[in-house]
Amino acid sequence: MKYIKQVLGGDLRQYTMVVALGLLILIFNVISDGRMLTSSNFQNLLSGNAYVLVLALGMLMVIVIGQIDLSVGSVAGFAGMVMALVAKNYNVPWWVAVLIALAIGILAGAWHGFFLSQLGIPGFITTLGGMMIFRGGVIWISRSISVPAPEELKWFGAGYLPEWGPSFTGMNNSTLVLGLIGIVCFAVGQIRKYNRSKNSPVGVTPLWAVVTRIALMTVLIGYFTYLFGSGRVGTSFPVPGLILLLLTIIYHIITQRTKFGRHVYAVGGNKAAAALSGVNVKRTYFLTMMNMSFLAAVAGILFVGRSTAAGPADGTSWEMDAIASVFIGGAAVSGGVGTILATIVGGMVMAVLNNGLMLMGVGADKTQVIKGFVLLAAVAFDVYNKKTGKASIIGRLFGGNEAKKTTK
């Protein structure tokens, strides 16, 4: 057990949900006679859930500051519908329509941020009103009719990385390069972390443990690189997955390495203390809410691109899946706790549940019931651990600001 802890780099409890995700994949793969771990299924799983995971990135920051945003699904649906209508009725270039959709998201977030930061109206109430306004707006401007999306958007919502170079690898070379970049980045990060730890009073992680960790991650990334890159001709790692990957890296850096990220956690941990220490609480509220609606617009664009049309029901209940992903990822209801990477793990748990139950032929009604129980069980277990003084489920996953808060 001691050696396992050295390889994983800390308390094993922090990997609970990661282990649960792995077990879910294996269980569903056995039950479905191997249909879970196939190239086509994982490509569809990632591209079909990327929009929810994008929403979860923004929702994590909103929940960390102690607020909630119920409008994200409606904002996403409204932005996507406006984009499709503008492109169809006014014959504008697709990229102009995309910029208009993103602008709508930013303006909607500024609207919510204004009521929260300047008028002091709680985010729950502000965004509840926004949910009603934008949900009605989608139905109003669409006249309850679906609108086709610009052809170019299909690549963003359902496209794949291109093929290039020789075919002797037996797989998509773009996916192969992406996997190699991931392995190299992880290895370099671990080596730099090991070199920094030499000057740490806590102690140095043994070199063999670092090498083992790199080897295990290389095998894992290598397997999924093969899984995504060895599908039928014309398929590879999905473009929505690449967009999600880039956004995850960006927001991980923002939350863990920037002043704004530190302010988000400070406000969520103790708003009064944050204000006394010089944090602009109103500005933090405003920017966090605006960022959330911006990501909602991105999610709407991805969904419209994948479905090839904007519909009047787009965005319905998306906020529920995003919120569930954040809480399953170990975020605290009271705010101040949560990480981007843990949220992605929580979102993947929800995605695998949806996909696995669909492969088993379970209906949408029973799927909702099961997802509800999973959410309650995950949060209850997390709360129990915190009350007994143990680490949160994966609150300390990959370290960062939140890890520092839970260990105090």
pLDDT tens digits along 227-257 = 999 988 889 999 999 999 999 999 999 999 9
φ, ψ dihedrals at 329, nearest 5°: -75, 5
The pTM of the full predicted model, rounded to 2 decimals, is 0.90
- Whether 12 is in a domain gets the answer yes
Which amino acid would we find at residue 258?
T
Q: Residue 326 is part of a domain; what is its CATH number?
A: 1.10.3470
- Whether 337 is in a domain gets the answer yes
What's residue 310's pLDDT? Answer: 95
- Whether 193 is in a domain gets the answer no
What's residue 3's pLDDT? Answer: 61
Please give the average per-residue pLDDT across 214-219, as a whole number: 93
What's residue 393's pLDDT? Answer: 42
Full residue range of the structural domain in which residue 106 is found = 2-159+238-406
**Residue written as token pair 């679906």:** 146
Q: Tell me: pLDDT of 69 over 80.
A: yes
- Whether 387 is in a domain gets the answer yes
Within 8 A by CB and 6+ apart from 377, the residues are none
> How many CB atoms sit inside 10 A of residue 192's CB?
10
Q: Tell me: pLDDT of 391 over 70.
A: no
For the chain, the three-class secondary structure string (H helix, E strand, C coil) is CHHHHHHHCCCHHHHHHHHHHHHHHHHHHHHCCCCCCCHHHHHHHHHHHHHHHHHHHHHHHHHHCCCCCCCHHHHHHHHHHHHHHHHHHCCCCHHHHHHHHHHHHHHHHHHHHHHHHCCCCCHHHHHHHHHHHHHHHHHHHHCCCCEECCCCHHHHHHCECCCCCCCCCCCCHHHHHHHHHHHHHHHHHHHHHHHHHCCCCCCCCCHHHHHHHHHHHHHHHHHHHHHHHCCCCCCCCEHHHHHHHHHHHHHHHHHHHCHHHHHHHHHHHCHHHHHHCCCCHHHHHHHHHHHHHHHHHHHHHHHHHHHCEECCCCCCCHHHHHHHHHHHCCCCCCCCCCCHHHHHHHHHHHHHHHHHHHHCCCCHHHHHHHHHHHHHHHHHHHHHHHHCCCCCCCCCCCCCHHHHHHCC
- Whether 316 is in a domain gets the answer yes
What's residue 203's pLDDT? Answer: 64
What's residue 382's pLDDT? Answer: 66
- Whether 116 is in a domain gets the answer yes
Per the prediction, the chain carries an average pLDDT of 88
The total of structural domains in the chain comes to 1
Contact 210, 194 (CB under 8 A): yes
- Whether 273 is in a domain gets the answer yes
Measured distance CA(209)–CA(3) in Å, rounded: 8
- Token couple for 236: 């590879």
Contact 291, 312 (CB under 8 A): no
- Whether 366 is in a domain gets the answer yes
